[in-house]
Structures are given as C-alpha cells and as structure tokens.
C-alpha cells in the first residue's frame, strides 16, 4: 500500500489529544498496514502526546518504511508531524527492541508532556516534581515578589532553601505578576501549549484571576486541569485557610498518633497530608493523560487534601471502623500494637505477623518453651486480649535483659522482621541505602553541594533522571521560556521595566 497517513486528520476527530515530540526520522514495520481510518486513529493514540512511537499493530509490507516529515497544515494546534508510507530503501532508525540488547530509551516516561505549575508550598510542587523526574517539561509559575513561599523557609544557601529544592528539581521557573493583564496573557499563552495545568489556590481564586477551568478549556480543550485545595470546591470548610497539620487533625492521623505510655495525641512529625495529596495528584494526572491518549480528551481533576489524607489513612487506620452495624467484629488495631521495643541500651523495631515469625522471636529471646504454651503458640490464642497482654509483658522483660546489638543479631538469624532505629545522620551510611544509591548528591551552581532522595520507581526502558535540571532560582528561566513563546528582547525589556516579569540580573 502507498499513500499518506496524516495524524492530524484522525486527531481532529478526537480533539487533538496531545503533541508529537522528537519523533525519529524513520522506523520499520514488517507486516501489512491496514488503511481504514480507525486504524489510523489507533496509531495516533499510541504515538502522540507522550512522544512515543510504538507501532504494535500497523505495518506496511516488508521492505517499505514509514517516514516522518514536518507537519504541513491541518486543524491541530498541537501535532507537529505527519507520516507517509514510502518506497523501499533509506536508512533505518530502530524504535523498539528489534535486535538483542538494543532498546529505545526516552528521558523518562513523560517525555514530551508540558506542565504549567502555578502551585506553591508542597501538595502541588511535589506532585509536579514527580512528573518532572519522569521527563515532563515543568514550568513553575511564581509571583515576582518572593516567589513560592518555600523560598523563605529555613536552611537557605546561595538563593535556594532545602524545602524548595526538595519539591522543585527538574523544573524551569518563571516569575510573572498575574495581577497585570500582560502577566495573565503570558500565563494564557503558556497554558495554551500545555498538556497539564496545576494550581492549589483556594476555591474561586483561579476563576477570579481568569485562570479557572472553564476559561482555560476555551483556549486548550485537551488540557488536564488539576485543582488541589484543602477541603474541596465547596462545603462548610471550603474557604478556610489550611495547612498540613490542620488536615492531619481532621483525617484521623492525630487521633491515633499516641504512645500508650503517654496517652496524649500528637501530630505525625512530617507533612503526611501534603505529601499524600501530592502523590494522589501525580497519579491522577498521569491517569488523565493516559485516558486522553485513548480519546477521552481533557478533563478537570479536583483533589481535596482532606479526602486524599483520609484515603491514605483509611486502609489501616480505620480497621475498627470499617464494618458497620451493631455486630462489629473486634480485635487489636495496628495503631494499638505499633511501638518501639526497649532493650537494655536502646530500641529495636520488630514485627512478627505469622506463627513462624513469632516462634523465631521466642527462640531469639531465649524462650523456645513459649512455642508450646497454649496461650502463645498459635495466632488464634494470641489474638485473645488477655493472652496478648501476658505475652507482651514477657517479651518486654526478655528484651530489657539484652543489648540492641545482641538482639538484632539473634532476630536476624531467626528470620524475624527486625531493624534498628537510625538517626537521620545514619541514613547516609546505612549499607542497604548505600547499595540502592538511595541518597543522591548534587552540585548546584550557587547553593553548592546538597543531597536528595532518589526517585523510588525504576523504569527499565524510560529511566527517570533526577539530575536533568537543578532546582531553579527565582525567575531563572523567565527570559528563556518567554523567548520560546515568541517574545522579543524589546518585549522582555518593557515587561521587566513594568514589573510584569522578573528577570534576574
């Protein structure tokens, strides 16, 4: 078969789902390419948006090739290439594993996706940093005065704070005054070319600013618009100011965060509500992008922090409150049994969930006879509150008689799940963390040497690169990004003079 397959024709029927980015010049097929338009649309959904060429079902006859050429018109704002079937001959570019050991790699699975991030603090910025680590081009939109509030946090050096750096690597940062009409126009032009827009303003603020979902949908129908708020778009709490610890108190975390020896509730001493919201947002955005590739078009994602935090807490935190009715089953919850175990010179953490693990613990403590004790030998007997209490007292006495080092060695020998309590400095020397290369070292041009955790997900074909870009300084990329939008130097000089944008000296 000979002819032209134009991606934008099929894309127009599916609302131009995304962009083609950095496609190879040629790729090979080895079967027959059906010519019906439905198959053409399937090619589009596989290849566009994420910049991925994956010709799994569509192949011209052996010896022919499919070749990209610059886009030559059509209704799409986003698509940049078309493809045509040509005669045999010419150079090949491998795009899949078509020879042993040869693999096509992208700079992250989200390569080719553009994200405009107008969020601040943690819930939005951490989410978009995850997308950036996975290859997305994330442009952080900040006010011109001080930028993201995290730029004012402690532990600052060379124009960068550790809190800001830990939520904003791999991004480009521009500083724009959105209260000025020309500043808003910059934002609109950015978003018109974007795949994703993220904001975590209070409900209604985006609409008042002119960057609400409806207004942006008019200029970019296929936009994934993500709103993160404390309580949701409406309801009795929706207009309240909120930060992580308030959400912790409203979602169960504080209620169970107590030591039975000092029965006073306390906060989880890290921002679990913010971070669970960020992870929820990142997952939802990638799911929406995937749905768009399948023809769903753009959509609005609304993420209330209170809901994300409650959903994160629920699987184990609400064990005693999952079943409804008067005949609720009883038992011990995890928050009742989670605790450190004292030794003669410190603490250990062990968790024995099965009979074999408990029996190993008994042997490690020097009391194998407990295995034959009808109160302790089987899980059913240990679930009795009275038996569990008696066993707990015996284990506590036995552990206080030995050092941490001795007990750790014995429990590991018996295959008991156990570990020490590391202080924060010890994380840098732990053998397993070192083996995993879990803590990375960076060199920032102004802030100097610093450390961050490696992204946990390891992709075999589209590896993440946390060192692609350093965390940006305030307004570091304003000139670069506006230049890409078509602003001339005279425009930039005028906008800077009017305090519409910040371009650092």
- For the chain, state the CA radius of gyration: 28
What pLDDT was estimated at residue 268? 95
| Tally of CB atoms within 10 A around 504 | 12
Task: Indicate the domain borders of the chain.
Answer: 3-86, 114-314+466-502, 341-420
Pull the structure tokens for residue 345. 């010179």
What pLDDT was estimated at residue 384? 87
Contact 158, 446 (CB under 8 A): yes
What pLDDT was estimated at residue 258? 86
What mean pLDDT comes out for the span 169-178? Answer: 98
- What is the pTM (predicted TM-score) of this model? 0.80
Task: For tokens 């083996």, name the residue.
Answer: 435
Distances (CA, A) of 123 to 44, 140, 145: 33, 14, 21
CATH for 341-420 is 3.30.1540.10
Task: Give strand pairing partners of 173.
Answer: 140
How does pLDDT run across 474-495, given as a tens digit for each residue?
999 999 999 999 999 999 999 9
What pLDDT was estimated at residue 48? 35
What pLDDT was estimated at residue 19? 36
Local confidence band at 103 (pLDDT 50, 70, 90 cut-offs) = very low
The residue among 501 and 389 whose pLDDT is bigger is 501
Please give the share of the chain, as a percent, with pLDDT higher than 70. 79
Local confidence band at 106 (pLDDT 50, 70, 90 cut-offs) = low
Domain 114-314+466-502 top-level CATH class: alpha beta
What mean pLDDT comes out for the span 108-117? Answer: 97
Mean of pLDDT over the chain: 83
Task: For tokens 């007292």, name the residue.
Answer: 393
Please give the share of the chain, as a percent, with pLDDT higher than 90. 73
Pull the structure tokens for residue 270. 């890290």
């Amino acid at each position: 078969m000979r002819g032209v397959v134009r991606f934008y024709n099929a894309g127009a029927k599916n609302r131009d789902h995304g962009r083609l980015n950095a496609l190879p010049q040629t790729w090979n097929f080895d079967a027959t390419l059906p010519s019906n338009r439905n198959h053409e649309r399937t090619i589009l959904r596989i290849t566009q948006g994420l910049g991925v060429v994956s010709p799994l079902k569509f192949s011209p006859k052996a010896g022919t090739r499919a070749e990209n050429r610059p886009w030559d018109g059509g209704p799409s704002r986003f698509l940049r290439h078309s493809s045509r079937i040509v005669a045999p001959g010419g150079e090949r570019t491998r795009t899949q594993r078509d020879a042993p050991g040869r693999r096509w790699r992208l700079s992250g699975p989200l390569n080719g996706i553009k994200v405009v991030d107008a969020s601040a603090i943690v819930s939005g910025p951490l989410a978009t940093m995850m997308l950036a680590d996975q290859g997305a081009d994330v442009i952080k939109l900040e006010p011109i005065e001080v930028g993201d509030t995290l730029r004012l946090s402690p532990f600052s050096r060379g124009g960068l704070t550790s809190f800001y750096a830990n939520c904003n690597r791999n991004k480009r940062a521009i500083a724009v005054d959105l209260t000025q009409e020309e500043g808003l126009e910059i934002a609109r032009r950015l978003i018109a070319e974007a795949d994703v827009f993220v904001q975590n303003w209070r409900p209604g603020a985006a609409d008042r600013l002119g960057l609400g979902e409806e207004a942006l949908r008019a200029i970019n129908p296929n936009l994934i618009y993500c709103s993160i708020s404390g309580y949701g778009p409406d309801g009795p709490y929706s207009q309240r100011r909120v930060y992580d610890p308030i959400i912790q108190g409203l979602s169960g975390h504080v209620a169970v965060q107590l030591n039975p020896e000092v029965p006073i509730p306390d906060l989880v001493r890290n921002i679990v509500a913010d971070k669970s919201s960020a992870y929820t947002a990142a997952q939802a955005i990638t799911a929406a992008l995937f749905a768009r590739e399948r023809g769903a078009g753009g959509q609005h994602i609304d993420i209330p922090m209170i809901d994300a935090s409650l959903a994160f807490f629920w699987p184990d935190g609400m064990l005693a409150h999952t079943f409804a009715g008067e005949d609720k089953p009883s038992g011990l919850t995890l928050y009742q049994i989670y605790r450190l175990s004292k030794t003669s010179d410190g603490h250990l953490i062990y968790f024995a969930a099965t009979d074999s693990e408990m029996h190993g613990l008994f042997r490690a403590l020097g009391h194998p006879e407990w295995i034959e004790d009808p109160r302790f030998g089987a899980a059913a007997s240990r679930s009795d509150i009275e038996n569990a209490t008696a066993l707990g007292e015996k284990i506590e006495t036995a552990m206080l008689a030995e050092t941490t080092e001795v007990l750790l060695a014995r429990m590991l020998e018996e295959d008991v799940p156990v570990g020490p309590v590391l202080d924060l400095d010890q994380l840098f020397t732990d053998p397993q963390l070192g083996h995993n290369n879990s803590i990375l070292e960076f060199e920032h041009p102004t802030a100097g040497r610093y450390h961050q955790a490696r992204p946990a997900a390891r992709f075999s074909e589209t590896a993440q690169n946390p060192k692609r870009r350093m965390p940006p300084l305030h307004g570091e990329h304003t000139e670069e990004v506006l230049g890409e939008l078509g602003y001339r130097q005279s425009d930039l000089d005028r906008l800077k003079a009017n305090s519409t944008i910040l371009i650092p000296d």
